[in-house]
Amino acid sequence: MDLLKSAFKASFAAKTEELKDLLKANGNLVIDQVKIEQLHGGMRGIKLMLWETSSLDAIEGIRFRGYNIPQLQELLPRIHGAKEPLPEGLFWLMLTGEIPSNEQVEWLSKDWASRAEIPQHVYKILDSLNNSVHPMTQLSIGILSLQSESIFAKKYDEGITKSSYWEYMYEDTVNLIARLPGLAAYIYRKCFHNSQHIAADPSLDWSANFAHMLGNDSPDFKDLMRLYMTIHADHEGGNASAHTVHLIGSTLSDAYLALAGGINALAGPLHGLANQEVMDWIYEMIAHLGTDNPSKDQIKEYVKKTLSEGKIVPGYGHAVLRAPDPRFLAQKEFGKEYCANDPLVNIVWNVFDVVPTILEDLGKVKNPWPNVDAHSGALLEFYGIKEHNFYTVLFGVSRAMGVLAQLCWDRAYGLPLERPKSITTEELKEFILQTAN
Ligand SMILES: CC(C)(COP(=O)(O)OP(=O)(O)OC[C@H]1O[C@@H](n2cnc3c(N)ncnc32)[C@H](O)[C@@H]1OP(=O)(O)O)[C@@H](O)C(=O)NCCC(=O)NCCS
């Protein structure tokens, strides 16, 4: 059994026993209550699933196994001359609860590089798609085509015991994560660089190799990719892409089928597509104002125009967060160090200075602060990744790490099929009548 697989086994074995005892003694305790407005309002805030890899605090933001983003930046190993930590270390942390050593991360990096080969039929399917098909749709199709490689599906077909599900899920998960940069880079070079593909360099870490295959070998862009892949990896279980993967996985669909579903959820403008929307919105503002150096007053007027047309300001607001997203702030710090004079990056910062007050004044927006998507596009564009409709694909590659690590936990715990109860409006009216009497 490989290094991480055995570390994960040791980690969940203890937790599974603990969870069993905890459920036996406390299974009937009420943890939450549901208001009718939550039933209609996207089930906000209702505690209804287990999620081990991360937890979201409304003010502090995301914590991965207890560590917030600044702590991760300090503690996760940096290898291969990187200034930013390697996301491989975060994956290790999500599965084991332990910050890995440099040697462990180096091993994991090599392990992923050795699993990265993509079968030819996947390329053929991608090549058959017209470039007018959105890159997120192509990513989803690419992941589905890779499903031919699912070890879990094959083993399930042969007949395996429930206690071994996690092993095959682990294999699928790491194989899929290892292949995603190659898949995403193939889509990028096919759509935007005339199918001039760049071969993988297996001597590089996962993110640096991704940067290389996209077409930018600068050390700074490789560090941006390491940061980007780390901060987008997980945002607890209730967000749409994470919950989708968890739900699909609960039917014992394999990791490929489950992740493709999550990618489809991420492709929505209220979720991951917001990074594309932010950049499109900024460019529309630049065209409308006739300057790529708009003043804060000009930005204010444009924000008000956007709102008066009944549109949302992309990259602002959140269903859970109630403060500036630390993922936005981490990118701002990166921008200050590497591209403080870039006009687009400065627009992003000026938008940050004016939007929250305007949204607050509307009186209905619960979180007027920027989220992760408000910043990422400007940094990508600085390093030459200028195709806005590719940005959510990068988000998807990173998000795979968190949701797939959790899928391993789901199978290790033997979590059952998800099947909540729905009710009709008639039943709701009946309930209200009965409660009133
Ligand atoms: C993320 C988002 C979907 C959260 O939705 P939510 O939990 O329903 O947010 P709220 O409870 O604050 O929404 C209350 C109202 O404020 C509005 N609102 C929220 N964020 C807004 C924004 N950025 N611009 C304009 N209006 C916004 C909502 O549309 C809603 O209006 P309504 O009552 O007229 O329908 C929402 O903030 C949004 O659409 N943001 C922009 C898209 C985005 O950046 N998505 C990425 C999220 S990581």
| pLDDT score of 362 more than 90 | yes
Ligand 1 contact via 368 beta carbon (within 6 Å): no
Ligand 1 centroid from CA 319, angstroms: 8
In degrees and rounded to multiples of 5, residue 348 shows phi and psi of -55, -45
Q: Over the stretch 127-181, which tens digit does the pLDDT of each residue have?
A: 999 999 999 999 999 999 999 999 999 999 999 999 999 999 999 999 999 999 9
Q: Domain 274-382 belongs to what architecture? A: Orthogonal Bundle (1.10)
Ligand 1 contact via 274 beta carbon (within 6 Å): yes
Of all atoms in ligand 1, which is nearest to the CA of residue 316? 23
Read off the pLDDT of each residue in 412-436 and give the average, rounded to a whole number. Answer: 96
Q: Which residue minimizes the CA distance to atom 7 of ligand 1?
A: 319
Q: Over the stretch 260-276, which tens digit does the pLDDT of each residue have?
A: 999 999 999 999 999 99
Ligand 1 centroid from CA 98, angstroms: 36
Ligand 1 contact via 371 beta carbon (within 6 Å): yes
Q: What band does 86 get if pLDDT is binned at 50, 70 and 90?
A: very high
Ligand 1 contact via 272 beta carbon (within 6 Å): no
Read off the pLDDT of each residue in 192-212 and give the average, rounded to a whole number. Answer: 98
**Smallest Cα–Cα separation from 290: which of 277, 306, 302?**
302
Bridge partners for 157 per DSSP? none
DSSP letter at 45 equals T
Q: Over the stretch 17-45, which tens digit does the pLDDT of each residue have?
A: 999 999 999 999 999 999 999 999 999 99
- The catalytic residues are 271, 318, 373
Q: What band does 81 get if pLDDT is binned at 50, 70 and 90?
A: confident
Ligand 1 contact via 238 beta carbon (within 6 Å): no
Q: Over the stretch 203-217, which tens digit does the pLDDT of each residue have?
A: 999 999 999 999 999
> CA–CA separation, 433 vs 437, rounded Å?
6
Ligand 1 contact via 43 beta carbon (within 6 Å): no
pTM of the predicted model as reported, rounded to 2 decimal places: 0.97
In degrees and rounded to multiples of 5, residue 214 shows phi and psi of -70, -30
Ligand 1 contact via 373 beta carbon (within 6 Å): yes
Mean pLDDT for all residues in the chain: 97
Q: Which residue minimizes the CA distance to atom 11 of ligand 1?
A: 366
CB neighbour burial string for 169-202, b if at least 16 within 10 angstroms, e if fewer? bbbbbbbbbbbbbbbbbbbbbbbbeeeebbebee
| pLDDT score of 80 more than 90 | no
Q: Over the stretch 374-389, which tens digit does the pLDDT of each residue have?
A: 999 999 999 999 999 9
| pLDDT score of 243 more than 90 | yes
Ligand 1 centroid from CA 368, angstroms: 9
DSSP letter at 162 equals G
pLDDT computed for residue 422 by the predictor: 97
Ligand 1 centroid from CA 25, angstroms: 40
Given ligand 1 and candidates 309, 318, 358, 373, which is best to mutate, with the most ligand atoms within 8 Å of its CB?
Answer: 318
The strand pair at 61-64 and 67-68 is best described as antiparallel
Of all atoms in ligand 1, which is nearest to the CA of residue 317? 37
Ligand 1 contact via 242 beta carbon (within 6 Å): no
